[in-house]
Amino acid sequence: MVKVVVNGEEKLFNAQDFENFSALLKTIVTEGKVLKSLKINGKEIPVAYVEELKSAKLDEELLIEIETQDAVSFLKETLQDVLGYIRHVKELLPQVANSIITGNEAGWKAIKDLSEGLAAVENLRSSTNQITKLNESELALTTERNEVSNILREMLEALDKRDVFEISDVVENKIPIVLDYYIEYFTKVLEAIAKVN
């Protein structure tokens, strides 16, 4: 038997009843819920790696501990964390711009980190849109998405040219507009969620 502890409640399952780990997860993590944490035989498994486990066959002697959370409260927590991250990044932009101009290697690393962070934030915006079904016109945002796209395109062109002055200018003076867009978007989504709940 596979012992599964879901939010502290113990359940037993036959491994043969499930084609793979994914089939078991579908039984446990029901619609409207998200997987918050996972342990298999006492070992923490980052939620990001769950996709890789989905095709795994189940053994009879497994202990699986799962925490789930309703999607809306999970989204609220995530958005609050991301807003803190975005605000922190925004404070660091003048230092990044200065590091680029002075040729400091840390500036280039920060640009790489900024690019990855912006990609992750955009993925979260897209996922948030799918979950909440709120479109940007309903949120009445002050910055248009095409302005954000134009700034990001300008940043890519400056990076392609390796023009340190243009890169520095975009980082210090235009990336804050991009970050403000995401701050406003996520803040208004949180306000809309609060009104509904």
The mean pLDDT value for 50-60 works out to 90
Domain 2-70 has CATH 3.30.420: no
Kindly report which listed range (41-45, 67-71, 89-93) carries the lowest average pLDDT score: 67-71
Q: What is the pLDDT of residues 134-170, one digit of tens each?
A: 888 889 999 998 999 999 999 999 999 999 999 999 9
Contact (CB, 8 A) for 192 and 134: yes
Contact (CB, 8 A) for 86 and 120: no
Which helix (H) or strand (E) segment is 68 a member of? strand 63-70
Measure Cα distances from 85 to 10, 77, 118 in Å.
36, 13, 11
The mean pLDDT value for 43-62 works out to 90
Instruction: Parse the chain into domains and list their residue ranges.
Output: 2-70, 73-196
Confidence (pLDDT) at 197? 67
